[in-house]
């Protein structure tokens, strides 16, 4: 059964500032702005990291799996109204665990649920899978900052409304 695509790469680039080769999300499958996002990344054998990590035994670095999850969460955060002039910055990485390696040819399924957003700082529960097998899970914290100020080296927190999600 094929899933419908909510956002393609062009639509993702309209929300995220990331570009190739560091844009790690190919398509968005589900999106509730400010609440959750489910996305996908198909891993090709020619990805820049596979040649050196590791020669003869290519594995996607765990830090890039976490970055793909962070970009998935950023899509959720930046898709909410009033976020057009914002950028999402890492504020913390907690309880991240890796359970399976990711190899060329795998399709990485990415999910983030925003669990809290207060004073421009948020937290999300994240999970990555391949073929239904858990790859990685954890909690990511992020800060919504003014994009122009961040580009000038002066990131400031957002004045976005606070929102607490039930556990």
Annotation marks residue 18 as catalytic: no
The DSSP line for 110-146 is EEEEEEEEETTEEEEEEEEEETTEEEEEEEEEEEEEE
Token pair 């000038």 in the structure block, residue: 152
* Residue 103 burial by Cβ neighbours in a 10 Å radius (0-12, 13-18, 19+): middle
Residue of 53, 100, 127, 163 marked catalytic: 53
- Spell out the residues 6+ positions from residue 152 whose beta carbon is closer than 8 angstroms to its own: none
Distance CA 40, CA 44 (A): 13
Q: How far apart are CA 128 and CA 118, in angstroms?
A: 25
How many CA atoms does the CB half-sphere of 71 hold within 13 Å? 27
Sign of CA dihedral 119, 72, 5, 115: negative
Positions marked active-site? 53
């Amino acid at each position: 059964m094929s899933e419908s695509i909510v956002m393609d790469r062009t639509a993702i680039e309209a929300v995220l500032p990331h570009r190739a080769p560091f844009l790690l999300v190919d398509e968005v499958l589900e999106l509730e702005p400010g609440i959750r996002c489910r996305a996908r990344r198909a891993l090709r054998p020619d990805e820049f990291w596979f040649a050196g990590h590791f020669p003869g035994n290519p594995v996607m670095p765990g830090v890039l799996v976490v970055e793909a999850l962070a970009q998935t969460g950023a899509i959720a955060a930046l898709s909410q109204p009033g976020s057009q002039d914002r950028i999402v910055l890492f504020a913390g990485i907690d309880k991240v665990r890796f359970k399976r390696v990711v190899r060329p040819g795998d399709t990485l399924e990415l999910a983030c649920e925003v669990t809290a957003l207060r004073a421009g700082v948020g937290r999300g529960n994240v999970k990555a899978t391949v073929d239904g097998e858990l790859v990685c899970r954890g909690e990511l914290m992020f800060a919504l900052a003014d994009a122009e100020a961040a580009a000038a080296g002066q990131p400031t927190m957002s004045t976005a409304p606070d929102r607490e999600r039930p556990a």
